[in-house]
Amino acid sequence: MKKPEYIVAIGASAGGLEALSAFFEHTPIDSVSYIIIPHLSPDFKSRMVEILSRHSELDILEAEEEMPVEINKVYLIPNTKYMGIRNGKLFLIEKEGQSLPHMTIDAFLTSLADERGPKAIGIVLSGVGSDGSLGAIAVENAGGVVMVQDPNETKFDGMPRSVLNAIDTPYVFSAADLPLAIQRYISTRNEIDVTAEAPLSEEALAKFVDLIKDQYPFDFTHYKNGTLERRIRRRMTHHNLLELDSFFAYLQKNPQEIELLISDFLIGVTSFFRDREAYEVLEREVLPKIISAKSENELLKVWVTCCATGEEAYSLAILIKEYLLEQKSNIDVKIFATDINENALKQAAKGVFSNNITKTVSKERLVKFFDKATDSFKIKPEIREMLIFARHDLTKNPPYCYVDLISCRNMLIYIKPVLQKQILAKLGFGLRKNGYLFLGSSENISVAKDTFVEISAKWKIYQSIKSDRAIIFDGQLTAPISNLSIKYGEKEIKPKALPRNSENAPDLNEAILSESGLSGVIIDREGKVSNSFGDLSAYLKQERFKFDLRELLPENLSLAFSSTLQKVIKSNQRERINNISFIEPETAKHSTADLIVSPYADRKTNFKGMLVLFKKSETVEVQHNVASFKIDVQTKEYIAQLEEDLMQASQDLNSSNDFLETSKEAMQAFNEELLSANEEMQSANEELHSINEELETVNAAHKYTINELTDLNDDLNNYFRSNVNGQLFVDKDILLKKYSPGAVSHINIMESDLGRPLSNITTNIKFETLIDDIKKVISDGEIIIKEIESNQGRLYQVMTSPYLKKGNDLPNGAIITFYDVTDLKKAQHELDKSIKMLSLATVASEMGTWSIDVQDKELFCSIRLKEIFGFEADTEVALDDIIGQIEISHQPIVMKAIETAIKDDGRFEIEFPIVRLIDNAHSWVRAIGNLSHDKNRTAAFLTGIMHDVTDHKLDDLRKNDFIAIVSHELKSPLTSLQGYLQLLDRNARKTKDEFAIGALEKTMRQVKKMEVLISGFLNVSRLESGKIYLNRQSFEIDALTREIVAEITTANTTVTISVAADCGCIIQGDRDKIGQVITNILSNAIKYSPSDHMIEVSCKAEGESVQISIKDHGFGIKTEDLEKLFDRYYRVESAKTKTISGFGIGLYLCAEIIHRHNGKIWAESEIGKGSTFCFSIPCLH
């Protein structure tokens, strides 16, 4: 036994048989082992081994306990077991008692991962649910590989998509291509192992992003590189393309492949109540605060971004609905569920989900908020009406406004920080003050943390704290500084230009300024600080932080700055003062610094102000236009400037006071009106914008609803068109609303009859009570079924049932359905006729009929059968009652015959004695039956007839008595005749009368034949009367066989017999009788075979029995003769056998002897090639 290096485990469910067939049709013999783990029904025997064997040259076996796993073999899990693997052997665990659902694929994949590690290969094919996802994670964590059938190819994509959501595998192929992928993976793991390749460059990714952006409304520019790369690699592997350029060219030629790539980029992983604890926090800490702040007329607005197929949106709707019901609140709720993927939105709008949601939605919620279908759940209308689904691109479209709760979960983790910041700004803008933001557990608001306060650190729930609503765009605060030229001494320091929106720009600019020793601030015209850079701790008073720079600077620096600022404002020229002596605020040390004040403007924002730079003083040469700081001079200049400014200000003040006084009240009133109007217009504008978005969303929802109604209408029309039965729909006033095309041919309805009272429509049916029946159905809600006849003689079954509307139990009309049962009635009539004829024939033949249910042994029997056993006609009779009337010696024989017929799928035929219940009379009956099966080929009923054969049995007994008497009477004179013939033979030999000697020899041979014939008749008689007894003893069958062959070979020197008798079996039986059987069959072989052909005799053990076979090369026996070969007195008649003597007794006696040893005897033959006679009997060992 050779163990495999790799073991391939294949999981499949609904639609998996077709995928498995395709898989194994392309599977090479490649020294691996395959384990199949399908979802099989425990109630029916699987035929998968038989089916898959047609598609593969590999051996396919049903797994058994402790079965070793060998190469080039396929093992199938039993339908009632879990399966695992340990030390190279399979082990089984009963499903019974295990909780549902049975995750058999997860169980085996996990076991395989533990057993084989990196040598484990998991395959997941078509199926519903998520079985296989946990196992796939285990295999991947163990270093193995997981491959998945392409979800776009599967009949049911639940299991493949569940695995793809759980792990990031690039191995996605069609079922037919998977074997080749496995072979390539094993032979050259690096060939398609995408994880080993170097990461894609920014330029390479940009090519794909631009290609998509040019043709579709999707921009993935700011998605993280790893997210895009993994999905590009996956599609490459799917098409067996190893070169990036080849895949790019393939995309250009195949637009549909671009759509598949986009679908992969749009990660739609979601589920109901994902992170249950997070929803508990919402329920406990968030919803009560939001709802308690609402009045009855206020709208509660929720926005679920990136909603995919809607599970999260519906989860929030259910949570809110539960809380409102608990609080008995009637406030309106509107949940906007948006996504960029229209296909996902269509699915979400339907509100239909697979049975897999039972894992995440409680039973109570399933009952309360879902309608159950055969294989799915549908959201109830009261929840569906709370949601509006619409397409929305967070990166481009404006946000919804005045929202109370925004959910944006597990989207930010896939995009770069620059886009994260934009989106968080939009979400903050969309929230009301004190609104809540709900992120994924791996996300945070680090790029916008000044806008929110944390509610739950673990589950990333935040509350908006800003009252102003402004969207922050992705500018860099230090961008204006990056283009400044800073001159110090003779040196010009210019920071290096950086790319726009570079994430490193702030850090680089700061580093350049630090290296030059410069620190500074940007101020507006009033001296208020708007930005700062560098280390300002030596120059600013941090403990008294204000925005006016004059108040932040130490005394001398403040004085120097104030006087210099006025000069720069007047001259609009750069000014510099060196060697300003001051006391550092932080350390109280004496220090000197240089001060530079320069005009500054930002063209992008139209900001105008001043750039103020500080630098510790150094010993430098005196420069032109640069003054050193002298406090008395600066003070006098500053005072003079202040006096001049004060005088000018006083004059300006006096001249304007009069004007201000006269216009103050009017201007103030006018200003207030303008402010009020402006606020109203701003508010109205925002409301209009919000309403417009909501209208667009509602319009999209209506569009989805219209499409659904159109599809539903198409479904109904197609149903009506394909329905051969006629159907009428009437309203509660019995006006015809609708009819199916089948009604036209059946009952002569026309389109012009729509809207007319049904009582005024003339049809070709004889149904006077139809109108009354409809009225009764509408009033009582019951269903009425009647049979009627048309004018053409056709028969119809008419079912009148109530027409119900959803949410209303009272009938709103009626549905009348016409089923044409003419052919059915004819067939029923013929069947009744056949049953009657069969009944008459059964009565005439005095036979009883019976049927036994194979499963519960329940007996169905006719009155005649009850009469045979002496029961009253109206008595309930069970199988045990019938068995009880059989003579005790034959009861086990009959029961065994019944069990054998059921087990061997064969014919039941037996005679046995009974004792009639009514009069204790003894009689014999003969029972004949056959096994029938249900639609699943499972044994269902053993059915047959039974008749009284007492008279036939008595005739047989009389015949046997007669044969015994005649045979006995003939034996005495025959013995005397033999004696006289022997005397005559001696006299003839004395006289040497050759003629007499020859005649006497022939006479003696005829007498011997007569003796054998008489003995045969006697044996038959004794067998049938039970007077032949077996002298049982233990003996070795090999020795008996060799002994008989030696005797026959000695007597027939022209015969060649080969013997293979070395099985060593010990028999408990009648040695002479078994020897008689072997002798009889060997004698027949000699008689019916050419003298120059060999006869082969063999003994071999077969389980708990020994089988003896005698093969000749004679004439052969026809198939129709084989069935009767062991019947009493039956002899094969043919031209070749007419010259060979025989009476048809020998094989009958052989069969009876073997049967009395609880054995079997049979013959196999082919015309012209000889025959093989076999019998088997139990052996001791």
Task: Give yes or no for residue 34 having a pLDDT over 50.
Answer: yes
Q: pLDDT-derived band of residue 536, with 50, 70 and 90 as boundaries?
A: confident
Element (H, E) at 404: strand 403-408
* pLDDT > 80? residue 168: no
Q: Which CATH class is domain 7-196?
A: alpha beta
State mean pLDDT over 935-958.
Answer: 84
Mean pLDDT of 1153-1180: 90
- Report pLDDT for 489: 40
Q: Tell me, what's the pLDDT at 472?
A: 41
Cβ atoms of 50 and 103 within 8 Å: the answer is no
* Per-residue pLDDT at 704: 62
HSE, side-chain direction, 13 A CA sphere, residue 291:
23
pLDDT digits (tens, 9 = 90+) for 38-48: 987 776 667 78
- What pTM value is reported for the model? 0.38
Q: Which of 41, 110, 37, 50 is nearest to 76 (CA)?
A: 37
Give the lowest-confidence range in 556-565, 626-635, 703-712.
Answer: 626-635
Please report which confidence band the pLDDT of residue 316 belongs to, taking 50, 70 and 90 as the band edges: very high
Rounded Cα distance, 843 and 863, in Å: 10
Q: Return the CATH number of the domain spanning residue range 1029-1178.
A: 3.30.565.10
Looking at per-residue confidence, does 345 or 622 come out higher? 345
- DSSP secondary structure letters along 575-606: EEEEEEEEE-TTT--EEEEEEEEEEEEETTTT
The H or E element that residue 1012 is part of is: helix 994-1025
Do 13 and 156 touch, CB atoms closer than 8 A?
yes
Asked if the model's pLDDT at residue 648 lies above 70, the reply is no
Q: How confident is the model at residue 311 (pLDDT cuts 50, 70, 90)?
A: very high
Q: Where are the alpha helices (DSSP H) in 1133-1176?
A: 1146-1156
Q: What is the model's pLDDT at position 802? A: 92
Q: What CATH number was assigned to the domain covering residues 954-1024?
A: 1.10.287
The yes-or-no answer on residue 131 being catalytic is yes
pLDDT for the residue numbered 485: 39
Share of the chain above pLDDT 90, in %: 21
Residue among 1008, 998, 1017, 999 at smallest CA distance from 977: 1008
What dotted CATH number matches 725-809?
A: 3.30.450.20
Of 84, 697, 780, nearest to 399 (Cα)?
A: 697
Inter-residue contact 629 to 577 (CB < 8 Å): yes
Dist CA 1019 CA 1016 (whole Å): 5
pLDDT tops 50 at residue 525: yes
1070 is catalytic: no
- Condensed to tens digits (0 to 9), the pLDDT of residues 849-881 reads 999 998 888 999 988 899 999 999 888 999 999
- Please report the pLDDT score of residue 544 as a whole number: 42
Task: List 1100's β-bridge partners, or say none.
Answer: 1107
Q: Which of 33, 126, 131, 264 is catalytic?
A: 131
- The highest-level CATH class for domain 845-948 is alpha beta
- 276-464 and 954-1024 have identical folds: no
The CATH label, of 3.40.50.300, 3.90.100.10, 3.30.450.20, 3.30.300.180, for the domain at 515-629 is 3.30.450.20
Q: How far apart are CA 427 and CA 444, in angstroms?
A: 13
- Strand pairing category for 575-583 and 627-628: parallel
pLDDT in tens, 1062-1089: 888 999 999 988 998 998 899 888 888 7
pLDDT at 969: 60
At residue 166 the predicted structure's pLDDT band, cuts being 50, 70 and 90, is: confident
Phi and psi, residue 850, nearest 5°: -150, 160
Look at residue 510 in the predicted model and tell me its pLDDT.
58
Placement of tokens 């699915």 in the chain:
347
**What are the helix and strand counts (H, E) for the chain?**
33, 46
pLDDT category, 195, cuts 50, 70, 90? very low
pLDDT given at position 1131 = 76
Provide the residue ranges of all domains of the chain, joining segments of one domain with +: 7-196, 276-464, 515-629, 725-809, 845-948, 954-1024, 1029-1178
Based on the residue annotation, tell me whether 13 is a catalytic residue of this protein: yes
Q: Which fold has domain 276-464?
A: Rossmann fold (3.40.50)
Q: How far apart are CA 34 and CA 132, in angstroms?
A: 16
Task: Rank 54-68, 184-198, 634-648 by mean pLDDT and report only the highest.
Answer: 54-68
pLDDT of residue 871: 93
**Mean residue pLDDT across the chain:** 80
The pLDDT of residue 488 is: 37
In tens, the pLDDT along 958-991 reads 776 666 666 656 666 777 777 778 888 888 888 8
Beta strands 387-391; 332-339: pairing state? parallel
| Predicted local distance difference test score (pLDDT) of residue 477 | 34
Residue 1009, pLDDT above cutoff 50: yes
- pLDDT given for residue 303 in this prediction: 95
Q: How far apart are CA 396 and CA 426, in angstroms?
A: 10
Give the burial class of 174: count Cβ atoms within 10 A of its Cβ; 0-12 exposed, 13-18 middle, 19 or more buried: middle
Q: What are phi and psi of 852, to 5 degrees?
A: -115, 125
pLDDT tens string 366-394: 999 999 887 789 999 999 999 999 998 88
More confident residue, 828 or 96: 828
Please write the tens of the pLDDT for every residue from 613-646: 998 887 544 444 455 555 666 666 667 666 666 7
